[in-house]
Copies of this chain bind each other. A is one copy, B any other.
Amino acid sequence: MNRERLAKLNIKAQVLKAMAHPSRLYIVEELARQERCVCELTTMIGADMSTVSKHLSVLKQAGIVADEKRGSMVFYRLRVPCLGKLFESVESVLECSARELAEATK
C-alpha cells in the first residue's frame, strides 16, 4: 500500500468517522433539510449545548458543515450538497443487509 493511497484512506476514514455517531448523523440529516442554529439542534437532540457544540466542531473540522454567525447565534449548514447521495447509499446498505443482519444477531 503506497503512501498516497494511505493518505486518501485516512481522509476518507476521517469523513466517515465524523458522521459515525448518532447525534452527528442526526445533525447532518437535519442540516440536509435546512440550516439550524446551535440552540435549535440542542433542544432537538436533548443533550447539553456544549456537547452539541463539540459535535458540530467535529463535523466542521471534517469539512462537512460550515458555520455562520448571525448576531449572537451561530447557524450551521451542510458544506456539500452531494451528501444526499451518501444518505441513499447508507440507506441502501441497510436495506441490503438489514434482514441478514437481523438474522445474524438473533
A positions within 8 Å CB-CB of B: 1, 5-6, 9-17, 19-22, 24-26, 44-46, 62-64, 79-83, 85-86, 88-94, 96-98, 100-101, 104
Contact = CB atoms under 8 A, between A and B. Distances in A.
B96 A15 contact: no
Interface of A, helix, strand, loop or mixed by DSSP: helix
Nearest to A26: B9
The 6 A-B pairs with the shortest beta carbon distances in the complex, nearest first, are A63-B97, A17-B20, A80-B96, A86-B89, A63-B101, A16-B20
A82 B96 contact: yes
A62 B16 CA distance: 14
A14 B46 CA distance: 21
B25 A16 contact: yes
Given A15-B94, A63-B98, 14 more contacts: A12-B25, A12-B94, A16-B16, A16-B19, A16-B25, A16-B90, A17-B21, A63-B93, A63-B100, A63-B104, A79-B97, A79-B100, A82-B96, A85-B89
